[in-house]
Structure 1
Amino acid sequence: MPEISTCLWFDDNLMEAVEFYTSVFPNSEITAVSHYDDGRVLAARWTLDGRPFRGINGGPVHAGFTETVSISVDCADQSEVDYYWDTLVAGGEPDQCAWLKDRFGLSWQIVPNRLYELISDPDPARAQAAAAVMMTQQKIIVADLEAAADAAG
């Protein structure tokens, strides 16, 4: 089976990004770095919690990263949401419904597992109430989702 990994194109700050990302997630490491003839970093491979990534310093990117591609982080609870959201959004931009852009412009979705449970509730009123609250949030606050679902059910 071939290994499938995500490849990210950076202008010239690949190693800064890789060092940041591997510091954020447990069980992460930089596994390889290659260089241009002049010593600048050309490419790198790394893992985030055991998942493979690779990247290149390819020079100026015409469009940069867009929201059409994001990395989703499923979180066990609110404390994980708070940690990943607060860490990744620092120097970046918050967006709606669990999305953010980090300081490198890469989009992330920081999603508590409880959100999936609530918006899939067999009671449509509970599910719709939780979804409606989610649509008003940037960082997801589980207690607010649960309160809305409980009030509707």
Structure 2
Amino acid sequence: MASLNITPCLWFDTQGEQAAEFYCSVFPNSKIKQVTRYGPDMPGPEGQAMTVDFEIDGQPFIALNGGPEFKFSEAVSFQIFCKDQAEVDHYWSALTEGGGEESECGWLRDKFGLSWQVIPTRLMELVENPGAMQAMLKMKKIDIAELERAAT
């Protein structure tokens, strides 16, 4: 069987280009590859981005400005596995900046409504301990040192 390429397509009302630019500014090795704009006699405003092909650290995405019919929900989220607390802090701050919302247990929604899980790579190991699991359930942003203390 040939290799399969899967590209998430993210439906935005009108902010797809701004979202792609934002994500490319947050994540290293990311870039906008192509912007296709609405032309005359198309369903969107002429000149507005229709689709934006971009990559986050090599993973392809498409941002589609499709109108207000659909919204993001926590039913789909993207996980960011962080090697240490500095990475957790960096991505948490960047993605909640400018109107993002903190949730629980390492989850957040960015200013465009997309859900992310900002988690240390050691999370599953740490929460095998009941004390650490209970501590994590009270957190918004994951605090590795606190989980380690709770696991002892």
- Normalising by structure 2, report the TM-score: 0.91
Q: 2:90 aligned with 1:80, yes or no?
A: no
Cα distance, 1:2 vs. partner? 2.9
Residue type matched to 2:95 in 1? L
Name the counterpart of 1:124: none
Name the SS for the 2:151 alignment partner.
Answer: helix
Pairwise mapping of residues 59-74 of structure 1 onto structure 2 (< 5 A)? Answer: 59-62=67-70, 64-74=71-81
Judge conservation of contact 1:98–1:137 (CA < 8 Å) in 2.
yes
- Report percent identity of matched pairs: 48
Which of 18, 33, 42 lines up with 2:35 in the alignment? 33
Cα distance, 1:80 vs. partner? 0.2
Name the counterpart of 2:114: 106
Deviations 1:62-104 (A, max 9, x none): 4x11000001100000000000001101111100000000000
Which of 119, 124, 129 lines up with 1:116 in the alignment? 124
Name the SS for the 1:134 alignment partner.
Answer: helix
**CA separation in 2, counterparts of 1:74 and 1:18?**
20
The number of residues matched between the two structures is 143
Name the SS for the 1:104 alignment partner.
Answer: coil
- The RMSD of aligned alpha carbons is 0.9
Name the SS for the 1:139 alignment partner.
Answer: coil
Name the SS for the 1:66 alignment partner.
Answer: coil
Q: Which runs of 4 or more aligned residues in structure 1 lie more than 3 Å from their structure 2 counterparts after TM superposition?
A: none
Which segment is superposed worse, 31-40 or 21-30?
A: 31-40
Judge conservation of contact 2:80–2:116 (CA < 8 Å) in 1.
yes
Residue type matched to 1:13 in 2? Q
Task: Give the structure with the larger helix fraction.
Answer: 1
Judge conservation of contact 1:6–1:54 (CA < 8 Å) in 2.
yes
Cα distance, 1:5 vs. partner? 1.1
Residue type matched to 2:54 in 1? W
Name the counterpart of 2:50: 42
Which of 55, 58, 62 lines up with 2:66 in the alignment? 58
Name the SS for the 2:122 alignment partner.
Answer: helix
Judge conservation of contact 1:100–1:108 (CA < 8 Å) in 2.
yes
Cα distance, 1:61 vs. partner? 2.6
- Normalising by structure 1, report the TM-score: 0.90
Name the counterpart of 2:4: 2
Long gaps (5+) in structure 1: 121-126
